[in-house]
Amino acid sequence: MREAEILLEVWRGPLAESQHRGHAVVWDADGETVAAWGDPDKVILPRSSCKMLQALPLIESGAADAHGLTEAQLALSCASHNGAAVHTDMVTDWIGSLGLDPEAALRCGPQMPDDRPAREGLIKTDSSPCQIHNNCSGKHSGFLTLTKHLGAGPDYVEIGHPVQRAVRDAFEDATGETSPGYGIDGCSAPNFACSLSGLARAMARFAGAGEGGDKREQAMHRLTRAMAAHPVLVAGEGRACTNLMRAMNGRVTVKTGAEAVFIAIVPEKRMGVAVKIEDGATRASEATITQILVGMGVLAADDPVALKYTHGPITNRRGIEVGAYKPAETLTSWTL
Task: For residue range 134-192, list pLDDT tens digits in order.
Answer: 999 999 999 999 999 999 999 999 999 999 999 999 999 999 999 999 999 999 999 99
- Peptide bond just before 231 cis, omega within 30 deg: no
Segment (H or E) for 74: helix 71-76
Separation CA 56–CA 77 (nearest Å): 10
Distance CA 84, CA 116 (A): 8
> Which residues in 249-261 are b (16+ Cβ under 10 Å) and which e?
eeebbbbbbbbbb
Predicted confidence pLDDT, tens digits, the chain (336 residues): 799 999 999 999 999 999 999 999 999 999 999 999 999 999 999 999 999 999 999 999 999 999 999 999 999 999 999 999 999 999 999 999 999 999 999 999 999 999 999 999 999 999 999 999 999 999 999 999 999 999 999 999 999 999 999 999 999 999 999 999 999 999 999 999 999 999 999 999 999 999 999 999 999 999 999 999 999 999 999 999 999 999 999 999 999 999 999 999 999 999 999 999 999 999 999 999 999 999 999 999 999 999 999 999 999 999 999 999 999 999 999 999
Q: Say whether domain 5-332 belongs to CATH 3.40.710.
A: yes
**Which of 35, 7, 104, 85 minimizes the C-alpha distance to 296?**
35
SS3 276: strand
- In the prediction, which pLDDT does 1 show? 73
Whether residue 5 contacts residue 37, with contact meaning beta carbons closer than 8 Å, is answered with yes
Alpha carbon 81 to chain centroid, angstroms: 10
**What's the first-to-final CA gap in the chain, in angstroms?**
25
| C-alpha of 198 from chain center | 15
Cβ atoms of 255 and 228 closer than 8 Å? no
- The number of beta carbons lying within 10 Å of the beta carbon of residue 14 is 5
For residues 19 and 2, what is the distance between their CA atoms, to the nearest angstrom? Answer: 18
Q: What is the pTM (predicted TM-score) of this model?
A: 0.97
Q: Can you tell me the distance from the alpha carbon of 5 to that of 102, in angstroms, rounded to the nearest whole number?
A: 44
Residues 3/38, Cβ–Cβ less than 8 Å: yes
17-46 pLDDT per residue, tens: 999 999 999 999 999 999 999 999 999 999
